[in-house]
Every structure is written in structure tokens, then in C-alpha cells.
Structure 1
């Protein structure tokens, strides 16, 4: 090899170049500070023997690697812009839009840090952590809204997140996988277990809605009875979620372990570890704090957006906020589905929905109980019916353990119809409790 050819040649066996070309190209442009390939015999500065050189260079190297982990991180410029707009109390529409855009890359960074933290924990625990921290955005936004008494925003955000995952994300997974192969298969037992739990979650919303309709002409305190039912149901759902975690991670772990099913096939396809446990944990904490700040300004501007634009709070909470919060999960699930890792894709999409339905929503009911906000599981009857029908559609599509692009288009079509329905659904629309009352209560 001649000296002139050396700079253009790729080192043999450099797995990092194949796995993360963006990081490699960007980091190599930093020279010694961020060089992944090294600098001759001395090596990169972030591995220098001198601690006073190694620590700051290692910090800069990891920061650069994190920032270049995803193209969507270019939107991070909106994070300081959104915070400044919120502090200066500029036009509420500008505050909403800028912080809306700021949360997108922050959600992606949460997903990235979670994946790095779960590299050594396996796909089962990794998928669980991805779903957990992927829901951190919705949880933070909902806690902020709950503190402000915006119960409708909280309820619609929770329902919207579930619908977004089981219809939009799952549909895109089916399409991504179906674009490369006629049919994809996944663990039928796992999918059936998850869909059954979703049916239980749907039931937990239907019962308060029908009870509310039944108590319309009763002398009893309707609101207090619904509150008692909601809090009791929330405790039961949290217990069910804990049992599901034990089922998934302990008693029936082999059913959920996608790695053991794929062993011997593509074992060499191991994702490279960029951040260690400590840097990944620090990243999670910092990003979570930034999400909380942006969410504070985002929620605070919603009332003005509703007044000026005419868009309902229900549509903002049910369609717009979940799309932002689920952006990172959406990309992750589609990428693994494209690689035909459908068990992992199903785990991210349905697993995230289960966490919202069985953990986050009941947790918010209990939190409301603690802080004095009357958060209940009585959603509007129209929303409850939409949720039940969506779960029914998904159950039919995944019960055979197979998927194709047509089933993905069905999920997407259903989601678009629902989004359109809620776009024209005003906040002051009456509940359909009267219709339900006429069906179940004798005149």
C-alpha cells in the first residue's frame, strides 16, 4: 500500500464504521479530540494516560457521539430557543411550536440513552426499558398538565399515546417489514398476551363510562362514585402490571426473549456500545430535565392555542402530543421491523401501549389523588368506544402471529380516520351517556 492511498483506505474489521457511519464520519472530523480510529501510536486524546487531558476529551467525545447518533438531533437548536421563548413569554403560538419541535430530538435522545444503557441487558429488558423511557415524555407532559388541572389534556394524551402505538407505530412496523418480504412472523403467544391485557385496559375504561351513564338519574353522588371506582381500578391495574412484569421477566421469560430465538442465526449482529452505563444515566437525567422544562412551557401555551387556532384540546392531546412523544419509539420500532425483528418491534409498540394503559394512566389517577386533582378513568364515551374498537381491530390483525403490508395499511387507515374524527370533535361536545343510558337503564 502506498502512502498516498492510506488515507482513503478503510481499516479491515472496523465494525464501528459499518454500524454507525454518521458517528464515524462526524467524529473523525474532530481530529484527535473525537477520533474513533486513533492518532497513530498515541491513540485518541480521550484515552490519554494523563487524567487532566483524558476526562475533558472523553466528555467531548461522548457528547459528540451522542449528538451525532441521529439526524433528528439537528432540531436540538429548538431546545434553548423554546426555553427562551417561554421565559420571555412571547407569542403563545410561537412558544407552543418551538417547544413542540424541541421535544422531538429530546425524545430521540431518551431512546438513544436507553438503548445504550440496555446493550448488556438483552433484548427483553432492553425493549422494556425502551418502552419505559420512551413514555417518559408523555408522563412528564401529563404530570405538568395534571398539576395545572388540565384533566382533559391528561386523559386525551394518555388515550392518544395508546392509539398512536397500537395503530400508527404498529402499522408502520407491518409496512416496513412487508416492504422487504411477503409475510413476517412473530411470537403468537406473546402478542396474544399483550392484546389480552389491552382488552382488560379497554374494559377498565368502559366500566366507568357506563357507570356514569347509569348514575345520571340517581340520587347518589355521581362524581364521588366514579372517583372511588377509578382509584380502586387504578390500584388493580398497577397490580396487574407488576404481575405482567414478573410474567415477562421471570416466570415466562423464555417466551419474550427474542435473543434466544435468534441465537445461532444472526448472533454477530451486535449493536456497538457508544455510551457506558454512567454516561447513559447522566444523559437520561439531563434530557428528562430538559423535557420537563419544555413540557411546562408547551402545556402552558395550549389554552392560547385553542383560543386562537380553533383546534380542540382533545385533538392536541390525542394526536399532536403523542406523535411527538412517540417519535423515538416510532423510529426504533420501524428500524427493527425493517430488519425482520418483529418480536422486538411488537414488544416496543404494544409494550409501550401496555405501560401507558396499565401503569402510566393508573399512576396519574393515584398522583391526582395525592395532590388533590380529581383525575378519573371516566373518559368521554366517544373516546372509550374508539379505544375499544381500536383494540378489537389490532387483536384481529395479530392473532395469527403473521403480518404483511396490507395489515399495516389497515392500522394506518384506522388511525387516520380516528384522527380526522377528533379533529372535528369539539371540546364542548356532549357525552353520549344519554344514548348509553337509554340502552341500559329503563325509563
Structure 2
């Protein structure tokens, strides 16, 4: 039933997005249409990556899901950069970190915990990811803020570019470590062969084709969505910070939200955790640095400098996630704790 709704929303939303854009419909109406269309398209991306996850296994499947889920946000962010909306882009990066670690993981732990008393995942992956989270968010994001206090804009941008290059190199090294040199070394005993027990909804070629088409459609809709931000913000009294942290982050990560919850409900916690944490790492160590480098080609460049509320919120989310996930098991109450933290931060950003 849910799949039919998303299918209907896609076949209605995409034509409406094109027609509304050509006929210059109300920006608020188009904002709603664009958001719903992106969510519908993201559902197909989620189903396609779920099919690929069954074929390739939890680690690569989770990585694919995070990558294509973040592709939506990367596309939105690039168009926002072109419009000079630096605050929205930085806020959307913050929102992605908070959304993945608190909202996606929280909903996954909570929904899965309602069905299962205790759910387990690979504790070695959790501890490995904890170190990367500490580095990517707390070290790489806080350092530019600290040094930017006594630097001019040119030096701050130079520092941001240097950090971005280091982050990309380390992220690629982390993938090489996890998928090549140490693939299977820390594999949980329950993971072995588990992904062969279920038949994928779509074959590999069909899943890849759907991913490609959905990504192209999202790129078109996202470009138009960005143009509605100013009017929507003025109409509802929202700040750019709130739009980026909450609205763009939720819409941009819709595919991951749905996939992670479905995986948790099926007791596939390795994939659910890999989607939530792996996506955060990809945002912090790959997407954010790429956006810094891409911004160099636009009139307004983007330094990797966040506001104090953004930094404290991200650091808090990282520390909370590490404390909860380092034992390799979850329950519904831990999910509720993560969700409560997200709601508190959301209220703060709304009132800021």
C-alpha cells in the first residue's frame, strides 16, 4: 500500500513540478510539491538500494544507501551554493549530522525496539565508526572555528580547503580499510551469509537503473526547490538556519530515513546502523569537503566554519550516539532518548 502511494506521488509530483515551474505557480505551493516529490523519489532510491544491499551484503549495502541518500542533499546544496545561500548549506550539513545520528538512528532503534526486546549489531564497526565520528565532527569541524577567530576570510578559506582535502583522503582510506584490507576481519558471526536468505525486490541492473533515473529527477526538482527558499522563509518567519537544519535535512535524507527504519524493523541492525552512522561520516568527511571545493568555482566561496549552536549540537549528537551504540546493542528506550535530543535541538533552532 505504501509503495503504491509513493508510486502515485512520483507520477503526479514530477509532472506537477515541471508544469508548476513553467506556469510560475505560488512559491509556497511549489515548495510543498517539490518536497513531497523528492520524498517520493527517495522511496524508490531506498527500495533500490535495499535490493542491492541483499545482493552485496550489509556493509556495501549500507554504503550504497548512504551514498545515494546523500546524493539528494549534495545536489540541493550545490544549487544552493550557486545561489549564494552559504548559511542554508552549512545548516543543511548540520541538519544531516543531527538527522542521521538522532532522528534516523533514533527512529530505527525505537521502531525496531518495539518489535524486539534487544537488537544487536557489529560492535567492532560501532567502535571503529566512533573514532571517525569524533575526528570528522569534533576535530575537523571545531578546529576551523577556533582558528577562524584570529584569521581573515582568505586564510580561513585556505584552512578550510586544506582540511577538506585531508578529510576526503581519510574518508577514501576508511573505505579502503573497511571494504578491502580488513573486509570480513571484524565481521559479526551472524552476518555471514545472512543477506542470502532474502530475495531482492529488483535485480541488480534494474535497481541501478532506477537509482540513476531517480537521481536525475531529484536533481531537476532540487534546483527548483532552492529558488523557493527565500519566499517560504519570509512567509512563515523561518530563518535560513531553521530551513537548512530541519527542512532541507529531512527532505534530503528521506531515502535514508525510510530504509533505516525498514531495516531495523526487519532486525537487520547492521545495515540500519551503517546507514545512519555511515551517512553521517560521508556527510562530514566527503560531502562537506566536496562542497567547500565546489564553492571555489562560484562567486561566493564557503569556508568550513559553523555557528556555535551548530557546532555544539553536532558534538553533542556525536557523543550521545557513541555512548549509546558502543555496546553493540539497542532497545526502544535508547531510540526514544535520541529522538528526544533531536526534538530539543529542533525547538532551539526554530526559536533561535
**Range of TM-score over shorter length:** over 0.9
Which structure 2 residues correspond to residues 152-231 of structure 1 after superposition, within 5 A? 152-202=87-137, 203-213=139-149, 215=150, 222-231=152-161
Say if 1:241 and 1:358, in contact at 8 Å, map to a contact too.
Answer: yes
Partner of 2:29: 94
Which structure 2 residues correspond to residues 390-409 of structure 1 after superposition, within 5 A? 390-409=317-336
Say if 2:47 and 2:259, in contact at 8 Å, map to a contact too.
Answer: no
Q: Distance in 2 between matches of 1:257 and 1:93?
A: 48
Q: Distance in 2 between matches of 1:286 and 1:385?
A: 38
Structure 2 residue 151 is the aligned partner of structure 1 residue 252? no
Q: Distance in 1 between matches of 2:295 and 2:25?
A: 31
SS at match of 2:297: helix
Partner of 2:172: 242
- Give the Å deviation of 1:119: 4.4
Say if 1:119 and 1:273, in contact at 8 Å, map to a contact too.
Answer: no
Change (3 A) 1:384 1:268: closer
Structure 2 residue 341 is the aligned partner of structure 1 residue 411? no
* Uncovered stretches (5+) of structure 1, i.e. residues with no partner: 1-21, 23-67, 216-220, 426-443
Q: Distance in 2 between matches of 1:152 and 1:268?
A: 45
Partner of 1:355: 282
Superposition TM-score, scaled by structure 1 size: 0.75
Say if 2:91 and 2:241, in contact at 8 Å, map to a contact too.
Answer: yes
Partner of 1:261: 190
- Give the Å deviation of 1:118: 4.9
* 2:254 aligned residue (321, 327, 336): 327
Say if 2:141 and 2:304, in contact at 8 Å, map to a contact too.
Answer: yes
* 2:200 aligned residue (243, 247, 272): 272
Aligned pairs, number: 350
Q: Deviation digits for residues 361-407 of structure 1, max 9, x if unmatched?
A: 00111111234531111011221111111111111111222211111
Superposition TM-score, scaled by structure 2 size: 0.93
Q: Distance in 1 between matches of 2:240 and 2:311?
A: 17
Change (3 A) 1:132 1:70: farther
Say if 1:134 and 1:329, in contact at 8 Å, map to a contact too.
Answer: yes
Structure whose alpha-carbon radius of gyration is higher: 1
- Give the Å deviation of 1:321: 1.5
- Give the Å deviation of 1:338: 1.7
Say if 2:95 and 2:244, in contact at 8 Å, map to a contact too.
Answer: yes
Q: Deviation digits for residues 55-79 of structure 1, max 9, x if unmatched?
A: xxxxxxxxxxxxx856433321122
Partner of 1:115: 50
Change (3 A) 1:400 1:201: same
- Give the Å deviation of 1:112: 2.3
Partner of 1:85: 20
* Larger RCO (CA within 8 A; separation ≥ 6): 2
Structure 2 residue 4 is the aligned partner of structure 1 residue 75? no
Partner of 1:52: none
Change (3 A) 1:255 1:181: farther
Q: Distance in 2 between matches of 1:293 and 1:419?
A: 28
Change (3 A) 1:225 1:84: same
Which structure 2 residues correspond to residues 292-311 of structure 1 after superposition, within 5 A? 292-311=219-238
Say if 1:123 and 1:257, in contact at 8 Å, map to a contact too.
Answer: no
* Uncovered stretches (5+) of structure 2, i.e. residues with no partner: none
Say if 1:132 and 1:355, in contact at 8 Å, map to a contact too.
Answer: yes
